[in-house]
Amino acid sequence: MDTESITPTASRSDYRTEIDPIEYCRGQIAALSFVRESTAREVHILSIRKLFERAGVVHSLRYALAILDLMREVQELGQGYWYPTPLRRVPLDGRSMLIGIPPTHELRRNFQTVRRAGYARLIDDSEIRNVPHQDLDEWTSAEKDTVGWAKRELLKARSAIGPTMTSGSVEFFGVTSRAIGGRRASLQSWLSKAQLGQITIWDGLVLCRERIGSGYHRHFFGALDGRHVVGEAPFQTDVNRIKFGLASLAGSPITVLRSADAMVHKLHIFGDLPRAERRLLLALGKRQPSRYGKTYSFHEADRPACLEDAIQNLGCEVKDWHG
């Protein structure tokens, strides 16, 4: 499930009950899956849905499950079944994310410093030494070197170029420059042949997409001859990640604007993040409505260094901004 396109839908019941769908989903799955202290069972979506209907928040079920799946607090087993993952900590710097299905108010019975960050919960390390840990890289599943990974993918594509199967309605990935709040920023764009001068090319290869249905595209690497695609190689892995890596390799890294004050730190992202980085930013921060890209805000006191590391790892150009 794609959390970029899933948002909670307001209804009259929201204002009456003020139920947080994420915490409510945690509590219901924790209760339904409990067998004994160290044993859980899988839970079927229909059982969860029935409880959401009773609470008047069934419209938020898909959103809540998508977030808990993104946070890796539940695992989808298929055929409508979900399973809670074990409680563990993901160390940051002097504190940890506490990952698991118990709702926050239940965790506070045992851990006094537990608090919500974004969708995840933070806890001081001094209180949690005996909880099993999972490394941050393993939890996010992020590539450790996006630019290096992109180069390897492009080199594989170069050796796999074959005949093209395009219909002619192809768009090309490129980086365009815009002034945003007084700062010049390089942004992700999909361009037509008429904008050939702005298309991002590396070693003769371009990233292409071709519409194959309503809201669906086929992505591939193309070899250009003038304004025409004359060969192609398939690409079926992380499209959002390859855009960041390709832009950096081509010498036009995508811009991330950073703004901060004494209390809040904000990152303004222009374009879609890879799932691993989106997982981290939504775990520790909150998405805010913004005129300037997708804005994630973080409490300065709880902002770990891994946030900046994750953005730098994408090959981005980070600019300080006072917008």
pLDDT of residue 164: 85
Q: What is the mean pLDDT of residues 4-16?
A: 47
Where does the pLDDT of residue 179 fall: very low under 50, low under 70, confident under 90, or very high at 90 and above?
confident
pLDDT of residue 145: 94
pLDDT of residue 15: 40
Q: DSSP state, 87?
A: P
Q: Identify which of 322, 302, 310 has the alpha carbon closest to the alpha carbon of residue 96.
A: 302
1 pLDDT above the threshold of 70: no
Q: Identify which of 269, 108, 89, 265 has the alpha carbon closest to the alpha carbon of residue 187.
A: 269
* pTM of the shown model: 0.88
Q: Identify which of 223, 239, 237, 238 has the alpha carbon closest to the alpha carbon of residue 170.
A: 223
* Residue ranges of E strands in 55-182: 74-78, 81-84, 88-91, 95-99, 115-116, 121-124, 170-180
As a whole-number percent, the residues of the chain with pLDDT over 90 amount to 62
pLDDT of residue 288: 86
pLDDT of residue 2: 56
128 pLDDT above the threshold of 80: yes
Window from 67-71, 190-194, 240-244, 304-308 with minimum mean pLDDT: 190-194
Give yes or no for a contact between 219 and 142, defined as CB atoms under 8 angstroms apart. no
**Own/partner pairs, 295-298, CB within 8 angstroms, 24+ separation:** 295/266, 295/267, 295/268, 295/269, 296/266, 296/267, 296/269, 297/264, 297/265, 297/266, 298/117, 298/118, 298/264, 298/265, 298/266, 298/267
Q: Give residue-wise pLDDT tens across range 78-111.
A: 999 999 999 999 999 889 999 999 999 999 999 9
Q: Identify which of 252, 160, 157, 270 has the alpha carbon closest to the alpha carbon of residue 206.
A: 157
Task: Provide the CA 206 distance to its chain's centre, in angstroms.
Answer: 24
Instruction: State the Cα–Cα distance between residues 6 and 41, nearest whole angstrom.
Output: 27
Instruction: State the Cα–Cα distance between residues 218 and 164, nearest whole angstrom.
Output: 13
Q: Identify which of 174, 141, 172 has the alpha carbon closest to the alpha carbon of residue 254.
A: 174
Structure-token pair, residue 125: 């390390």
